[in-house]
Amino acid sequence: MRAPAIVLWIVVLLASASCERKAAERGGDPAIAPGAATPRRGGHVILPSNEPTYLNPVLETRYNRVLPLIFEGLVGLNGALDPVPVLADSWQVAPDGRSIRFTLRDGVTWHDGVRFTSKDVAFTFAAIRETATATSLKAYFSNVEKLETPDDRTVVATYKRPYAPALTTWTVGILPAHIFGGGALEDSRGNGEPVGTGPYKMTRWEAGTRILLEANPTWWHGRANLDSVELRFDVPDVELWASRTQLPAFRDGFEVATVPGNLFRMIAWNVERKPFDDRRVRVGITMALDRPRVVEDVLLGEARALSAPFFPMMYGADPAIAPYPFDSAAAATLLDDAGKRADQGKRFRLSLIAIRSQQTATNEEMFAIFRRDLGAIGIDLEVEYLSPIDFERRVVARDFDAAFLGWLPDIADPDPSALLHSSQVKVGKNFAGWASTEVDQLLEAAVSTPDRDGRKALYRKLHAILHHELPYTVVYAPYAHYAWSRRLRGVAAEDLGATPRFPGLARWWTDARGEARRQR
């Protein structure tokens, strides 16, 4: 959530020749084309990432590239976003769709050598339910009636009713009970010294700068090819991408990809505070914001408009519903109708909070445009940047007018319950505090409907309501940009997106011979 577009730069630092020994061949790996050189071990990559607050997949509320390399779920995702076995090597879904029986993979150990068992799954489930930290995971697991662990390798999840995203929710990273148990989850030493089952383990966290990871030699899937990964807490912005990547020298050394992303940036309106409890005020402010100018002039066209908070690359949204247009006159009329008439050119002050890492040159330019737009109709916009912890505290306490934030999928499913269900106002991520019985019923019906067409129809009804009521204004949905060294092989852009594929970065490898061939 640190840059206006997802911009990925990958720099490869080849390890010494002694470390570049041939790896055992990964049979059938779709990332390795027929006839390609054999994957080899060795090398170091540098990636940008948001800095996490907690190295804990239950507590961490911001997307980062650290956690998926350390922690694993029972289930992973393949290139088509279908569930594949990870910590569970098989599962059976009951004919009525109300239970899943997982058989856990045998022989898996945590980074410290302790055996992974069903007790860890039960602990993680309880942690999601019991933590005082607001998390969208509460919404995804709220339909679980009970979780049973009849033995060390069996987990049975029983649901109150059929739940379409059930399997996908188990992509959540599992926590080791022996590290995170024994006290409040927020106070656990594991939040800064993580122990997972994944392909990489942490060696150092330099606050504000970087996290260093090294390959887990006992990973159940076979040691990752790259020796180490460095995650730096800085991300280039869209202007640098647009200028730098067009240079011939850059193109000679890097592969480049631009793909539609599943991120959008939005404003959550605090509907529990006047005058934002009036939809005419929310719609009026939205129509006063020149979002098309932001997309074209600030983001250089590298984004698109959305009319509701649905992920751009997932089904659910109704494409026939267009975003509200930029129209200052119509905005002023709506505010007048809501009783917020201008007095000597002034209507009211709007205080918008954002996480401090959002204070980028690009966002400052965007907010300057919005400040002028709103000033033209008598609204004074004030932007306040906060630490992640203070931002979270203010949102939970409902101490804000509006909040600017990015939203990415926690699971590969279009269900927007975490943002919209009334049960998530206090304990989850319903930032707006918006509650609607009709919307709750649509959300619950959608996740209880097994077929995609049926869910689509329900979400389109929901879309119409969201567009009318506007508890959230989607400012834009950026495109995702990736660049990686031509010496890296086995890379797919999706490996580092919000829904990473399995095995992802663990299959990457460096090919020094490719560099030598280009020099000849």
- SS3 category, 180: helix
| pLDDT score recorded for residue 28 | 35
pTM: 0.82
| pLDDT score recorded for residue 236 | 62
Instruction: Please name the helix (run of DSSP H) or strand (run of DSSP E) that holds residue 128, with its range, or none.
Output: helix 118-130
Write a three-state SS string for 479-494: EEEEEEECCEECCCHH
Tell which CATH architecture fits domain 263-478: Roll (3.10)
259 by Cβ neighbours in 10 Å (0-12 / 13-18 / 19+) ranks as: middle
Distances in Å between the Cα of 248 and the Cα atoms of 7, 24, 245, 488 are 19, 36, 8, 19
| pLDDT score recorded for residue 3 | 34
* Chain region(s) in the chain for CATH 3.90.76.10: 72-185
> In whole angstroms, what is the distance from residue 125 CA to residue 172 CA?
10
* Chain region(s) in the chain for CATH 3.10.105.10: 263-478
499 by Cβ neighbours in 10 Å (0-12 / 13-18 / 19+) ranks as: buried
| pLDDT score recorded for residue 235 | 66
Is residue 15 within 8 A of residue 42, CB to CB? The reply is yes
Is residue 368 within 8 A of residue 397, CB to CB? The reply is no
* Chain region(s) in the chain for CATH 3.40.190: 1-67+198-235+486-520
CATH placement of domain 1-67+198-235+486-520: 3.40.190
Positions of the chain with pLDDT lower than 70, given as ranges: 1-37, 235-240, 242, 512-520
- SS3 category, 271: coil
Tell which CATH architecture fits domain 72-185: Alpha-Beta Complex (3.90)
For the CA atoms of 178, 180, 181, 184, the dihedral, rounded to the nearest 10 degrees, stands at 170
Q: Which residues of 195-211 are buried (b: 16+ CB within 10 A; e: fewer)?
A: bbbbbbbbeebeeeebb
